[in-house]
Amino acid sequence: MKKLVRLIKVVAVIQLVLGAFYLLAPGWFLGQMGHSAPEADIYYPLGMLASRFIAYGVALWIIAGSLNSQTIEQSRLWMTTLILIQSIDLLVGIYYTFMGAVPIQLSGFPMFNAVWIIILAVLWLPSKNSNTTNKNALA
């Protein structure tokens, strides 16, 4: 269970950091990553995106802090959601990179992150028919 808790906390921190940058300094943050400056009207949806990053990060942190054999089944939905989000992120990255809209220098690192998060979350996803985590997540 320790591995699963660490994974959830790492993803929570990533979400909180992304949320903070997209909320407080979106233009600077996008520029540091190498993206073009967005039009002024795009800062509004970036702020809405930031709220979701922050809320998801807080929820994951709370879940990681309370994860035990009794709460693991309830946390399964969050883990499945985590896998879904990362899978969509990966597919969007592949699509826009393949279409030439985003160079691999900008999409490579986020896509790499999505892949390792998906792999570990799938490997450590709690068993559906038990109140305990699978054997890989216990170590």
Q: pLDDT, tens digit, for every residue of 17-52?
A: 999 999 999 999 999 999 999 999 999 999 999 999
What pLDDT score does 132 carry? 46
The DSSP-derived string for the chain is -HHHHHHHHHHHHHHHHHHHHHHH-HHHHHHHHTPPPPPGGGHHHHHHHHHHHHHHHHHHHHHHHH-STTTHHHHHHHHHHHHHHHHHHHHHHHHHHHTTSS-HHHHHHHHHHHHHHHHHHHHHPPPTTSSS--HHHH-
Token readout for 115 is: 């892949």
Provide the domain limits for residue 90. Answer: 2-138
What pLDDT score does 133 carry? 43
Instruction: Name the stretches of the chain with pLDDT < 70.
Output: 129-139
Q: Tally the domains of the chain.
A: 1
What pLDDT score does 129 carry? 65
Q: What is the pTM of this model?
A: 0.82
